C-alpha cells in the first residue's frame, strides 16, 4: 500500500533529493527508505518530463528574475515571522517556476528545508551535517545565536565542504559582537568556497565586521 505524502513532505524531498543521499532524507523526514526511494523516483521522472518555456526576450528574463527575487524576499519575511508553511510555499515556487535563476536556487533549497524542519521541530539528536546546518539556521533566525553556534560546533569541522557551516558561525559570532572570531570563521568559509566571499559582501549579519581591515581584505569591495 502506497504511503500518503503531505505536500510539505513532497516539497521538502523535491528540494533536497539532489543535495543529500536518500538515507539521510529518510532520517530527516522520518519516513521509511523504501518509500523515500519510490517518491524520489517519481519526482525525478516528473522533473524530466517537465518542459519549461524559456524567456524569449531580455525584458521577459528581467521580469522573471525580478519576480523570483520578490518571492524569495517574501519567503524570508514569512520565515523570520515563523510562518513556516507560507515560507515553504514561496521557496517551493522559486524551485518550481524559476529553475534557471541559479543565484537563488541554492538558497531557496536551503530555506525550504529550514521551513520544513522548523515546522516539525522534532526533538531528536542530530548527526547529519546538513540537518545540523538547517537546525542552526532556524535557531539563528529565532535570534538564538548561542544555540546555533552550539549546533555548528557539534560538527567539529567535519562535513562542511562548501563552508556553509563556517559561514553561519561567522554570522552568529558577528551578531554576538565576537568580531575577531567571526573573521576567522569567515576566512575558513571563503577558503572552502569563493561563493561565500561574494555573499559576505552584502550580508546584513556581518555588518559589524565592515570596519575590520581583515574583513575588507577577505571580501574586497562589491
| pLDDT for the residue 115 | 77
Task: Indicate whether 179 pLDDT > 70.
Answer: yes
54 has a pLDDT exceeding 60: no
Average pLDDT of 90-97?
Answer: 83
Cell readout for 13 is: 524531498
The answer, yes or no, to whether residue 118 has pLDDT greater than 80, is no
Q: What are phi and psi of 56, to 5 degrees?
A: -90, -20
C-alpha 178: how far from its chain's center?
24
pLDDT above 50 for 122: no
Q: What average pLDDT score do residues 8-37 get?
A: 79
pLDDT tens-digit series, residues 132-164: 888 888 888 888 899 999 988 888 767 788 899
Per-range mean pLDDT, top range of 35-44, 154-163, 170-179: 170-179
Higher-pLDDT residue of 56 and 89 is: 89
pLDDT value of position 222: 46
Q: Model confidence at 104, in pLDDT bands (50, 70, 90)?
A: confident
Percentage with pLDDT > 70 across the chain: 79
User: Does the structure show a pLDDT above 50 at 109?
Assistant: yes
Question: Is residue 14 a contact partner of residue 43, using CB atoms and an 8 Å limit?
Answer: yes
Residue range(s) occupied by CATH 1.25.40 in the chain: 129-219
**165: burial class by Cβ within 10 Å (0-12, 13-18, 19+)?**
buried
> How would DSSP label each residue in 159-204?
S-TTSHHHHHHHHHHHHTT-HHHHHHHHHHHHHH-THHHHHHHT-G
**What pLDDT, on the 0 to 100 scale, is given for residue 123?**
41
pTM: 0.49
Task: Name the range with the highest mean pLDDT among 17-31, 78-92, 97-111, 168-182.
Answer: 168-182
CB 103 within 8 A of CB 72: no
- Poorest-pLDDT segment among 3-7, 17-21, 146-150: 17-21
Select 129-219's CATH number: 1.25.40, 2.60.40, 1.10.3430, 1.20.140.
1.25.40
Amino acid at each position: 500500500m502506497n504511503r500518503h505524502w503531505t505536500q510539505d513532505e513532497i516539497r521538502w524531498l523535491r528540494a533536497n533529493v539532489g543535495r543529500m543521499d536518500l538515507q539521510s532524507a529518510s532520517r530527516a523526514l522520518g519516513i521509511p527508505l523504501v518509500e523515500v526511494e519510490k517518491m524520489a523516483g517519481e519526482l525525478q521522472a516528473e522533473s524530466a518530463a517537465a518542459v519549461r518555456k524559456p524567456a524569449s526576450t531580455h525584458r521577459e528574463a528581467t521580469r522573471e528574475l525580478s519576480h523570483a527575487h520578490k518571492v524569495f524576499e517574501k519567503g524570508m519575511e514569512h520565515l523570520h515571522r515563523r510562518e513556516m508553511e507560507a515560507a515553504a510555499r514561496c521557496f517551493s515556487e522559486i524551485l518550481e517556476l524559476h529553475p534557471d535563476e541559479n543565484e537563488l536556487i541554492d538558497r531557496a533549497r536551503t530555506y525550504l528545508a529550514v521551513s520544513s524542519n522548523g515546522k516539525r521541530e522534532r526533538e531528536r539528536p542530530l548527526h547529519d551535517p546538513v540537518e545540523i546546518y538547517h537546525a542552526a539556521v532556524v535557531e539563528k533566525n529565532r535570534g538564538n545565536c548561542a544555540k546555533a553556534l552550539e549546533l555548528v560546533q557539534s560538527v567539529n569541522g567535519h562535513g562542511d565542504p562548501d563552508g556553509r557551516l563556517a559561514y553561519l558561525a561567522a554570522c552568529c559570532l558577528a551578531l554576538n559582537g565576537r568580531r575577531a572570531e567571526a573573521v576567522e570563521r569567515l576566512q575558513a568559509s571563503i577558503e572552502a568556497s569563493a561563493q561565500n566571499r561574494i555573499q559576505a559582501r552584502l550580508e546584513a549579519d556581518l555588518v559589524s565586521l565592515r570596519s575590520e581591515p581583515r574583513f575588507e581584505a577577505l571580501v574586497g569591495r562589491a
